[in-house]
């Protein structure tokens, strides 16, 4: 199967490309610079350009590109970059798919559990409404930008990913060095829920979506049971055999992170109802096994 992929240089994109190629699939990586390899194709999300020839013969398109939410402090300029990189890129890819004479069978467009905002102790699944605040507003616009593909009759899936447990890259990759050094600890009061997923299960879930014709619309990519930050902190200390005595008070986080701190301190108790209903089996449903898989570099 020929599969087009954006965001192929990111944590999830690299792992997904490896997994697909290991099973003999042909992966076309869209890049924002002049292509230099046979498997690369050009796109420019700001101009809305996607090389149409690169989509010819593709059975699926997986769109994962977007500026990192936690990569920089949230200035007005960077918030605009976060939003535009997602909305403009998704719209460009969706329109290019819709313009194909023979569109792909499925379009998997990346999204995030930030859609739900702060849910406190309340568990939510895909039927829950959008929350309020910057990230929910971004996610709503991001997902709406995929409409041209859906309206063209392409099965469109909005993959709402949680916190990916990986030792290299992503938000969790920044935690491992702190905990290994014995200076990791809870954030704020530690009562906020974290909805996590191992990198292995993230990739397996994306592949499950590609192979399951009945799945469309929003699909949460999170482990079955979210845990509080306090519980995650204890698990990191337990698996790494390091003390977790330190904590970062909420006021300090707000000074250090600015507006982004409210999302780090917020609670998201998200469950993957549609993934489970479709028959997906998690390899690492628990946090200890997800952490150990990350340390072992495990992926499909």
Residue 263: partners with Cβ closer than 8 Å, 6 or more residues away? 69, 114, 133, 135
Q: What is the C-alpha separation between 143 and 160, in angstroms, rounded?
A: 10
H or E element at residue 13? helix 11-22
Q: Are 169 and 199 in contact, with CB atoms under 8 Å apart?
A: no
- pLDDT band of residue 299 (cuts 50, 70, 90) is low
Residue 234 belongs to domain with CATH number = 3.40.50.720
Q: What is the C-alpha separation between 65 and 289, in angstroms, rounded?
A: 28
pLDDT tens by residue, 166-222: 998 888 888 888 889 888 888 888 999 999 999 999 999 999 999 999 899 999 999
pLDDT tens by residue, 246-267: 887 666 556 444 665 565 668 9
pLDDT tens by residue, 41-90: 999 999 999 999 999 999 999 999 998 887 777 788 989 999 999 999 99
* Per-residue pLDDT at 11: 93
Residue 63: partners with Cβ closer than 8 Å, 6 or more residues away? 5, 6, 7, 89, 90, 93, 107, 108, 109, 110, 146
Q: What is the C-alpha separation between 137 and 114, in angstroms, rounded?
A: 9
Number of domains, the chain: 1
* Domain extent for 48: 2-296
* Per-residue pLDDT at 172: 86
Say which residue, 245 or 147, is predicted with more confidence. 147
27 strand-pairing partners: 3
* Per-residue pLDDT at 256: 47
* Per-residue pLDDT at 250: 62
pLDDT tens by residue, 117-158: 999 999 999 999 999 999 999 999 999 999 999 999 999 999
pLDDT tens by residue, 24-46: 999 999 999 999 999 999 999 99
* Per-residue pLDDT at 55: 96
* Per-residue pLDDT at 62: 98
């Amino acid at each position: 199967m020929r599969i087009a992929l954006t965001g192929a240089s990111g944590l999830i994109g690299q792992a997904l490309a490896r997994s697909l190629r290991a099973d003999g699939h042909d992966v076309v990586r869209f890049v924002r610079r002049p292509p230099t390899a046979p498997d690369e194709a050009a796109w420019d999300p700001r101009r809305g350009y996607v090389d149409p020839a690169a989509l010819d013969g593709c059975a699926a398109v997986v769109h994962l590109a977007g500026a990192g939410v936690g990569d920089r402090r949230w200035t007005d300029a960077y918030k605009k970059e976060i939003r535009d990189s997602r909305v403009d890129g998704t719209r460009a890819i969706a329109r290019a798919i819709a313009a194909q004479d023979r569109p792909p069978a499925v379009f998997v467009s990346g999204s995030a559990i930030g859609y739900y905002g702060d849910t406190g102790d309340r568990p939510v699944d895909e039927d829950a409404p959008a929350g309020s605040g910057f990230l929910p507003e971004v996610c709503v616009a991001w997902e709406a930008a995929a409409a041209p593909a859906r309206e063209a009759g392409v099965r469109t899936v909005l993959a709402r990913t949680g916190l990916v447990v990986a030792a290299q890259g992503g938000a969790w990759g920044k935690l491992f060095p702190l905990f290994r050094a014995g200076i990791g600890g809870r954030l704020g009061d530690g009562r906020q829920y974290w909805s996590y997923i191992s990198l292995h299960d993230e990739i397996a879930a994306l592949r499950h979506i590609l192979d399951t014709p009945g799945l469309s619309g929003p699909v949460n990519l999170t482990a079955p049971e979210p845990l509080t930050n306090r519980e995650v902190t204890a698990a990191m200390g337990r698996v790494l055999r390091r003390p977790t005595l330190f904590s970062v008070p909420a006021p300090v986080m707000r000074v250090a992170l600015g507006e982004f701190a409210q999302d780090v301190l917020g609670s998201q108790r998200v469950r993957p109802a549609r993934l489970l209903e479709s028959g997906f089996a998690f390899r690492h449903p628990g946090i200890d096994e997800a952490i150990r898989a990350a340390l072992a570099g495990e992926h499909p």
